[in-house]
């Protein structure tokens, strides 16, 4: 009961932090797609590069989020604004699932189909845009979905460096030892994660249908 009252009294702030949160997640996922999908395509075609690229992405993934935020804080341009820094860190975390799924999706396209296309005189870029990417699209998008859902959770930690988002409620609630305040951040974050999962999943299903 008191939680509902808290929401109704602070709805403006809940809304504002949710929008901030969405912004952090949306922008970083977009950047990760812009970097990760081309990288995944490259390593799917140049097998020698796949180990180093995936290893680096894996190592980034193992750095604790709080530590990564801390590492990046002294970097000149980045450290000046907390949201820049948060977006960079979230982008780095989102890379691995996107690169890995793009790689797996393209490698998973039936070799006979590729060879038939090449044998009929398709250029490499025609093969990529007309065959490989459309056939790998649903696998790539499921990578994006994983990345987005992870980002929603990770972005709550961005509040620790003052980047805003729903993490503010969580950290404030922890400091105040007030469950209501923690839940005011955690519940919208959980809903966002579910919505992101559902939205990307919907696009994914649309694409899978021939």
CB atoms within 10 A of CB 135: 16
Say which DSSP state 46 is in: -
The yes or no reply on residue 48 touching other proteins (CB under 8 A) is: no
Closer Cβ to other proteins, 12 or 112, answer by number: 112
Compute the radius of gyration of the chain from its Cα atoms: 20
Q: Is 178 exposed, middle or buried (0-12, 13-18, 19+ CB in 10 A)?
A: middle
Cβ distance to other proteins smaller for residue 58 or 123? 123
**Per CB under 8 A, 78 contacts other proteins:** no
Q: Is residue 70 at the binding interface for other proteins, with CB under 8 A as the rule?
A: no
> What mask of x and - would describe binding to other proteins in positions 93 to 122, judged by CB under 8 A?
-----------------x-xx-xxxxxxxx
Q: Would you count residue 76 as binding other proteins (CB under 8 A)?
A: no
HSE (side-chain half, CA atoms, 13 Å) at 86: 27
Enumerate residues 121-150 that contact other proteins by CB under 8 A.
121-123, 126, 130-131, 134-135
Q: Is 47 in the site for other proteins (CB under 8 A)?
A: no
Phi, psi angles (nearest 5°) of residue 162 = 80, 25
Residues of this chain that bind other proteins (CB under 8 A): 110, 112-113, 115-123, 126, 130-131, 134-135, 210
């Amino acid at each position: 009961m008191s939680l509902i009252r808290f929401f109704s009294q602070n709805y403006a702030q809940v809304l504002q932090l949710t929008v901030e949160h969405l912004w952090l997640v949306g922008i970083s996922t977009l950047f990760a797609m812009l970097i990760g999908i081309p990288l995944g395509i490259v390593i799917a075609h140049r097998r020698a590069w796949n180990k180093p690229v995936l290893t680096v992405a894996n190592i980034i993934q193992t750095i604790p989020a709080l530590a990564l935020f801390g590492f990046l804080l002294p970097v000149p341009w980045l450290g000046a604004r907390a949201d820049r820094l948060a977006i960079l860190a979230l982008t780095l975390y989102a890379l691995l699932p996107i690169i890995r799924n793009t790689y797996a999706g393209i490698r998973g396209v039936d070799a006979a189909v590729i060879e038939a296309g090449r044998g009929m005189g398709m250029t490499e870029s025609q093969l990529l845009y007309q065959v490989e990417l459309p056939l790998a699209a649903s696998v790539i998008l499921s990578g994006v979905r994983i990345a987005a859902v992870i980002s929603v959770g990770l972005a709550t930690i961005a509040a620790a460096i003052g980047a805003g988002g729903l993490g503010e409620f969580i950290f404030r609630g922890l400091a105040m030892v007030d469950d209501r305040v923690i839940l005011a951040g955690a519940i919208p974050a959980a809903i966002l994660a579910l919505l992101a999962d559902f939205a990307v999943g919907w696009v994914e299903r649309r694409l899978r249908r021939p």
